[in-house]
Amino acid sequence: MATAAATATVGTAGCLGSLLGQSGQIQPEEPSEPREGSPEEFYYFLEDNGIAVEELAREEDELYLTYESEAEDVEASDEEIMVIYEVYKRALIRRGSAVEFLYSEVANPFDGQALGWGIDTEWVTRFDAEGNETASDGSVANETTNASADNGTGGNESGQGIDMDRVTLWSNIMNTKVYEDDVEAVGNETDANGTANATDDGLENESD
């Protein structure tokens, strides 16, 4: 379900802002004390962690992020995804935000890079325990992260030292990746459906 939704969204590549309208546009704001867990703070911390945000917009409980990638290979691209995930978790979800889903679009993908991907907040609450981010006073740790954040160790470990919850979380995010072929397939399916509908209409008119 999440993959299909992400595909439909990325199919509008470069048009998210115009689709949502100016009313949904988010601008960065320095974090307040106490933290608000707002999209504006999320924007701020993304840039603070080296993510070049081109656009951030909101529609109801969903965020739409477009960012410029500095990655030159898949590994570096995945590191950017992990940074964005960590900021999403720490700056929004751990702060009590009601945002339910993040759609992310890469503004300048290299050949073979995913055009977009997504995060379902349910995955964060289900598979990523708060323990690693919570300080002794109960507050959430600093939102500043780095690209070396792990995607499968620590926390709820198995006998081999692998946190299966984190593995599941990372797998879910990776499964939302949308590539150019996926977008083309959606476009071809839409064209085929349109042709079929036009043919049906023509047959109905001939029978009248």
Look at residue 190 in the predicted model and tell me its pLDDT.
57
pLDDT in tens, the chain (208 residues): 555 555 455 544 444 444 445 558 999 999 988 888 999 999 999 999 999 999 999 999 999 999 999 999 999 999 999 999 999 999 999 999 999 999 999 999 999 999 999 999 999 999 997 755 544 333 344 666 654 445 554 445 544 568 899 999 999 999 999 999 888 876 566 555 655 555 555 555 555 5
Look at residue 137 in the predicted model and tell me its pLDDT.
36
Contact, 47 vs 55, CB < 8 A? Answer: no
Q: How far apart are CA 46 and CA 43, in angstroms?
A: 5
Residue 167: how many CB atoms within 10 A of its CB?
Answer: 15
What pTM value is reported for the model? 0.75
